[in-house]
Chains A and B, each alone.
Chain A
């Protein structure tokens, strides 16, 4: 698909040269470059950013640009995807390293933010009722609707598949994520995840977050 798309893009190349000559809003150019760079993400996250359970790739469509940029930065710097047992993280880290400049990181993040939201894949399980109680801890940052809070650097979690929430909570609990120097929010999350006693509690929270989606 990607190669075929490129043939079409080649046809549009002349037009692109023209648009470069005209004064264009900087943001629009970012998104255009981000759209091209996004090809690196497509094999796992899909062209619409819907992710893939098989590839252990989360939904990224419509994630806020600040969060995407921060996490790509974390992966690049080895603050995430640093643990030998974090197989998915070790696959994501090199992909983040394919963005060689901060401008390219921002461009991809800007493009990801423009992708329309998509419903995630769930695997089910867990008790949403019990999860609601546990969610009280999360509420302060991620909000009652699970849509996050930019000031507190909390990402929206309500649009994520339950398997991904479980995987990340496990990562936080075991130190596969959030124990690297410089990952301030990750370290906070390590503390929060410790309040979940066991695997059942983790699944319950994920089950509750599932109910937050409209």
Chain B
């Protein structure tokens, strides 16, 4: 059925049909990828504007002008929303999931190709609604990406009577898009695997995307309902979250974080999967303890539903509840630490090379460790009293999200670029880009840990009214962070150049440039409609590298012996 549709599209071969209304999973993956990259540029430039304001308050930001408090709020709100919902989600889950799942499990397309196309179209609409919300009278929504009512519920409070509902509509549409995509991913992996592909032969990145999709689908329901209720509060005058009308503002917080915390693992797990694929290939090693990784991922998934109220320790919940959520939150450190140990153990006894994708994958592990350990300070309710909503929190989650959404994504792009576009990226430019990204990244957020410990609260556009925060020491740290951000953004030009230049001029890629085992590398680069000339069968797991007694140090899954 799906093959017919693809063939039908190919037969009609117009540009319009092939690139815009295609049902081919690879094209849809690329649509998600390019949309996500465009949104990343927008989100990155927003961070430039508000970091400049923080470093040099009230001075006109070059290319923008003076930042007013309302605009600052809109910028930080939309930066956060964009980076999580319109960059991390579409690139890590939708783009890579769409591109990789059928190729890695050895089928010709998703089982619901039209649903897949609809998913992207709704996603694109959501992105356009969000960008549109920045241009309506009153400006973009500025109530933070968490959108806590009553601030978000009433135009009289947030002063963005059009921006706030549009933001909410955009987020709800985005959820719908990913629900459709998630159903498709899970069904495809359940039903369309190549002959012989047992559960334990599925590559880790596919497992991780599936677990992430299940987490997303299981957690997002309450928030979609909450979003509709909040929208009603905004435009119909209902009072679900308004205490004056018998509602409760804390209800939203529970609904939001019941989704919001699993969401962290929704994006983390695919990143972990990417890293598993890349470190095994470039250390020529079997993944250490495949089953353990799977178990820790499942354990993380289950626990992630039981930790949400650690975002609300000081929000007015019953103080006795905090103990429960401290325990679950610190417990989640166990599977995540274990997964990290597994990756480190995989390196043992390897024959490690360091091309660009491997550098990014290794940087993910090293940097994510910082994000992981600083989470303990916040999961502990006692220290969270002080650190809640300070820059310590901000630095912590950027040390998780930046490795996830940026570093792991770059690892994946450099790694699968040859398969996606049939050409190689330049490795020297890749390494320049790597160091130009990872070094400034640390110089942005290490100082912000310190300003957070020094009492800087988030979403404050200027500290000039706070004598304890306006010290030269803290201000210098803010300037270091801003300058590092500008350097980091400039180095992304190297990546964009490398990406687009290689897209058209890069050397032609062979089918399997990295000598990897998984099925996507048996297809031509780039794979045609239908993916495989002959549909592959699977004989072994994905990580049989350096098996003793074989001439080659890799043993592809589809080779019979």
Q: Please indicate whether A and B come from the same complex rather than being unrelated chains.
A: yes
Q: Which residues of A contact B (CB under 8 A)?
A: 1-4, 6, 9-10, 13, 33, 36-37, 39-40, 42-44, 54-55, 95, 97-98, 100, 104
Minimum CB–CB distance from B387 to chain A (whole Å) comes to 25
B70 within 8 A of A: yes
Known: A1-B135, A2-B71, A98-B68. 5 other contacts (CB 8 A): A1-B137, A3-B139, A6-B65, A39-B70, A40-B68
Chain B CB count within 10 A is highest, among A40, A43, A104, for A43
Minimum CB–CB distance from B125 to chain A (whole Å) comes to 20
Q: Are B159 and A43 in contact (CB under 8 A)?
A: yes
Q: Are A4 and B68 in contact (CB under 8 A)?
A: no
B134 within 8 A of A: yes
Q: Are B69 and A98 in contact (CB under 8 A)?
A: yes
Q: Are A104 and B58 in contact (CB under 8 A)?
A: yes
Query: In the complex, which residues of chain B have a beta carbon less than 8 angstroms from the beta carbon of A13?
Result: 62-63, 65
Number of B residues, CB within 8 Å of A: 27
Q: Are A6 and B64 in contact (CB under 8 A)?
A: yes
Q: Are B159 and A55 in contact (CB under 8 A)?
A: yes
Query: In the complex, which residues of chain B have a beta carbon less than 8 angstroms from the beta carbon of A42?
Result: 68, 70
Minimum CB–CB distance from B270 to chain A (whole Å) comes to 31
Query: In the complex, which residues of chain B have a beta carbon less than 8 angstroms from the beta carbon of A9?
Result: 64-65
- Can you list 29 A-B pairs, Cβ within 8 angstroms, ordered by A? A1-B136, A1-B138, A1-B139, A2-B70, A2-B139, A3-B134, A4-B135, A6-B65, A9-B64, A9-B65, A33-B66, A36-B65, A37-B66, A37-B68, A39-B66, A39-B68, A39-B70, A39-B71, A40-B68, A40-B70, A43-B70, A43-B139, A55-B159, A97-B465, A98-B69, A98-B462, A100-B57, A100-B58, A100-B462
Minimum CB–CB distance from A128 to chain B (whole Å) comes to 31
Q: Are B68 and A10 in contact (CB under 8 A)?
A: no
Q: Are A3 and B138 in contact (CB under 8 A)?
A: no
Query: In the complex, which residues of chain A have a beta carbon less than 8 angstroms from the beta carbon of B64?
Result: 6, 9-10
Chain B stretch 449-470: residues in CB contact (< 8 A) with chain A: 462, 464-465
Query: In the complex, which residues of chain A have a beta carbon less than 8 angstroms from the beta carbon of B464?
Result: 100
B156 within 8 A of A: yes
B140 within 8 A of A: yes
Query: In the complex, which residues of chain B have a beta carbon less than 8 angstroms from the beta carbon of A36?
Result: 60, 65-66
B425 within 8 A of A: no
B74 within 8 A of A: yes
Question: How many contacts between A and B, using CB within 8 angstroms?
Answer: 64
Query: In the complex, which residues of chain A have a beta carbon less than 8 angstroms from the beta carbon of B60?
Result: 36
Bits for B117-159, please: 1 = Cβ < 8 Å to A, else 0: 0000000000000000011111110000000000000001001
Query: In the complex, which residues of chain A have a beta carbon less than 8 angstroms from the beta carbon of B71?
Result: 2-3, 6, 39
Q: Are A2 and B68 in contact (CB under 8 A)?
A: yes
Query: In the complex, which residues of chain B have a beta carbon less than 8 angstroms from the beta carbon of A98?
Result: 68-69, 462
Tell me, in angstroms, the Cα distance from A104 to B68 when the chains sit together. 13
Tell me, in angstroms, the Cα distance from A9 to B64 when the chains sit together. 7
Chain A CB count within 10 A is highest, among B69, B70, B160, for B70
Tell me, in angstroms, the Cα distance from A104 to B59 when the chains sit together. 11
Closest 7 pairs (CB-CB, A-B): A39-B68, A43-B159, A36-B66, A40-B68, A4-B135, A2-B139, A3-B134
Query: In the complex, which residues of chain A have a beta carbon less than 8 angstroms from the beta carbon of B462?
Result: 98, 100
Query: In the complex, which residues of chain A have a beta carbon less than 8 angstroms from the beta carbon of B74?
Result: 2-3
Bits for B267-300, please: 1 = Cβ < 8 Å to A, else 0: 0000000000000000000000000000000000
Q: Are B156 and A54 in contact (CB under 8 A)?
A: yes
Chain B CB count within 10 A is highest, among A1, A95, A104, for A1
Tell me, in angstroms, the Cα distance from A98 to B71 when the chains sit together. 13
Tell me, in angstroms, the Cα distance from A104 to B75 when the chains sit together. 23
Q: Which residue of B lies closest to A11 (CB)?
A: B63
Tell me, in angstroms, the Cα distance from A43 to B158 when the chains sit together. 9
Tell me, in angstroms, the Cα distance from A36 to B67 when the chains sit together. 8
Query: In the complex, which residues of chain B have a beta carbon less than 8 angstroms from the beta carbon of A40?
Result: 68-70
Query: In the complex, which residues of chain A have a beta carbon less than 8 angstroms from the beta carbon of B136?
Result: 1
Tell me, in angstroms, the Cα distance from A6 to B135 when the chains sit together. 10
Q: Which of B137, B140, B156 contacts A55 (CB 8 A)?
A: B156
Q: Which of A43, A54, A97 contacts B138 (CB 8 A)?
A: A43
Q: Which of A10, A37, A104 contacts B63 (CB 8 A)?
A: A10
Tell me, in angstroms, the Cα distance from A193 to B74 when the chains sit together. 41
Tell me, in angstroms, the Cα distance from A126 to B75 when the chains sit together. 45
Minimum CB–CB distance from B76 to chain A (whole Å) comes to 13
Chain A CB count within 10 A is highest, among B60, B62, B66, B74, for B66
